[in-house]
Amino acid sequence: MLWRLRIESEDDLWTLSHLARSGLLVGMLGERRDQTTTGEEGGRAKAAERKKMWIRLKISSTEYQPFSENLRIHGVIEEAQFDVGLHHTHVVEVRDEVELSAPHPFSESDWDLLRQAEKAAQQINIALAMVEMDEIVLFYITPRGLREGATWTMRGGGKRGDLKQASGIGAAFRSNVIKAVRATLDESTPLLLCGPGHAREVLLDDMRAAGDSRFMKSIATSMAGRAGANELLRDGLAGDLLSEYAITKETALIEEAWTRLPTNGAVAYGHHALDLAMKEGAIETLLITADLLRDETQTINGRPWALWAEGLAGIGAVMVQCSVDHDAGQQLVGIGGAVALLRYTM
């Protein structure tokens, strides 16, 4: 089976990093040095020419860091103009086109991940500014992750009691932040201004006065900084704007699991409890990291997780493949990478 894929975002790189597993084949345009072009030229050594060609690798490993600009796929050349059998690394970037092929049909979990990537391609990245009077932190919300950007801090706030001076320093601080934000963000990027006080409203007024016409919305949170950003996702404070994003759904489901755990509610984690819940047909939704699902060295009840998870279809359960590129995903890793919301308490 063969998939032809076009990489359109960093989230697509994340998806490909999980689909491109050891033993599969990946092909794309690449470069190799043609050793037949070496020699002597005017008494000096002539370097081998780099030639662009189609190169298909049998994958041995991949390297990808969250929110990075490329995915490195290592393997042995199976198809190229020359150097077949040698090692090569494809560096996949946004806007590249690749072919991923397997000797057997792709699994339903792979199809599910691909369908999610297609849906996410219709969703734009959203900027989130967590605003306090003396500090503003910019985040980027993608369909699959939460990335921290710039932080601006006001140094000094005027002498205590000198409201005029403090007000002037605050206005200058906001003016500098607005210039930096407008230089950083594309004009079409929506911006959410959040925080526990009224500073976000002041910043919103200043941005509109400065002529910024992008979509902007002020949302109250009880916390500032990254904790406030997680509160926004966890509690669905952005309403419909983020309701269809995978990161929002994953965060809400994982939070529901944490809510049930202290009361011994309808939730299961750990190999024994999960396997028992599977056998009894009690699982309603399984939350599992995409990494664990595809790690063939990790097993449950003696079987790889991917094989074990095939049993979910037989009991009418839903599987959600979670990213670890946000705080809720990291919390899921902390309890073993998988947790199940159950139909009833066991």
Sequence-ordered list of residues with C-beta below 8 angstroms from that of 25, at least 6 positions apart, any chain: 56, 57, 58, 59, 78, 99, 100, 101, 102
**Structure letter (DSSP) for residue 152:** E
Dist. CA 58–CA 78, nearest whole Å: 6
Task: Report residue 161 as tokens.
Answer: 């009691």
- Could you give all domains of the chain from N- to C-terminal order, each with its CATH number? 2-106 (2.30.30.870), 126-241 (3.30.420.60), 246-342 (3.30.1330.30)
Nearest-CA neighbor of 331 among 242, 222, 230?
230
128 contacts 229 by C-beta, under 8 angstroms: yes
SS3 state at 247: helix
Residues with Cβ within 8 Å of residue 222, at least 6 apart in sequence = 196, 228, 231
Q: Going residue by residue through the chain (346 aa), what tens digit of pLDDT does each one get? A: 899 999 988 889 999 999 999 999 999 999 888 777 666 655 554 567 888 999 999 999 999 887 778 899 999 999 999 889 999 999 999 999 999 999 889 988 999 999 989 888 888 889 999 999 889 999 998 888 888 889 999 864 443 444 445 578 888 899 999 999 999 898 889 999 999 989 999 999 999 999 999 999 999 999 999 999 999 988 888 888 888 888 889 999 999 999 999 998 999 999 999 999 999 999 999 999 999 999 989 999 999 999 999 999 999 999 999 998 888 999 999 999 999 999 999 8
Buried b (16+ CB within 10 A) or exposed e, 195-204: bbeebbebbb
SS3 133: coil
